[in-house]
Amino acid sequence: MSDQEKKPDTIAICKVCQEKKVRNPSGKFPNGRDTKFVNEKDRSWNGKRCPDCQGKKMGAHMKAKRNKDVQ
């Protein structure tokens, strides 16, 4: 898409960090009903959670999962 055809950015509030961030639709999931959303760097949103907060959550999850003391 050229810059002239590009639609303006959509702003959404992340449910975790409560910051206003870009959340643009980028197509549909394979089921054909649900819409994919991305930020300005084409990183995927997870529901109403921004990509940065999702990365922090998954980093903590994987650290706990790999911890030998917990298993």
Task: Name the residue range of residue 16's domain.
Answer: 11-66
- Tell whether 59 is covered by a domain: yes
What is the pLDDT, as a whole number, of residue 38? 96
As to burial, measured by CB atoms within 10 angstroms (0-12 exposed, 13-18 middle, 19+ buried), residue 47 is exposed
Token reading at 7: 């639609």
Per the structure, the count of domains in the chain is 1
Token reading at 10: 């959509």
- Tell whether 39 is covered by a domain: yes
Q: Is the pTM of the predicted complex or chain greater than 0.85?
A: no
What is the pLDDT, as a whole number, of residue 32? 93
What is the pLDDT, as a whole number, of residue 70? 65
pLDDT by 10s per residue, the chain, length 71: 555 567 788 999 999 999 999 999 999 999 999 999 999 999 999 999 999 999 999 999 999 999 988 65
- Tell whether 5 is covered by a domain: no
